Amino acid sequence: MDVRVDGKVALVTGASRGIGAAIARELVDSGAAGVVVTGRRADALEAFATELGDRVVAVAGNATDESHVEAAVGAAVDRFGALDLLVANAGTNPSAGSLMDVDLGAVDRTWEVNLRSPLVWARHAWAASMRDHGGAILTIGSVGGIAPGPLLGAYNVSKAGLHHLTRQLALELAPGVRVNALAAAVVRTRLSSALWESDEAAAADAHPLGRLGEPDDVARAAVFLLSDAASWITGAVVPVDGGMTGATGLSLGALG
């Protein structure tokens, strides 16, 4: 299947590296007419946009800052005429530890970035373009949102909430806008490095396919769900997890 997004305009949050960068690159390679990439690191973001070419615009800022959200969504509409595809990828995990002990300020920050922020982005995308023209939204969840595990409780709760937010938005925004999520296991990124750097072989063995995920694994699934090839899929939380949830049943204990 040749999955294409020809002529579509996309916005990807948290796109200066890792999964977000891989999704932005895959969208460009799959024919997107324009891609707005966002992130906090302005220099890295601008360099990445330049690398991808003149169909890519960088708008630096904090994903939780509503004025930044408005500016980024506005940049897509002003530069390319629409916003067809939104990828709410920006995430954080500053709150590792037991929920009985972890700093509540860090918990608040985790939930603000991972759960509240995707809703804000969806609302602005809807108001600026998708309400009138339709589109597709993708959120980046986690296997930690499917089952609990040690040390990452606040993060896991935020992703479980994100999965349900995805389903709720799919209901509310249908039929014009499809909304789906990907639930990733351990992908080789800086954000997840604490889960695999100390013993990569053990982390890989926790996945039935015997390896860690790569950002491109997630990116290919992302572009499929955003494309018209997935036109009858909405409200789905699709595992991209090396078999962790499906082949053996989910167990996050080995990753703690």
Q: Using 50 as the pLDDT threshold, list the residues of the chain that sit under it.
A: 254-256
Q: What is the pLDDT of residues 80-138, one digit of tens each?
A: 999 999 999 999 988 789 999 999 999 999 999 999 999 999 999 999 999 999 999 99
Catalytic residues: 155
Is domain 9-240 classified as CATH 3.40.50.720? yes
Q: What is the secondary structure of 143-158 as a DSSP string?
A: GGGTS--SSBHHHHHH
- pTM of structure: 0.93
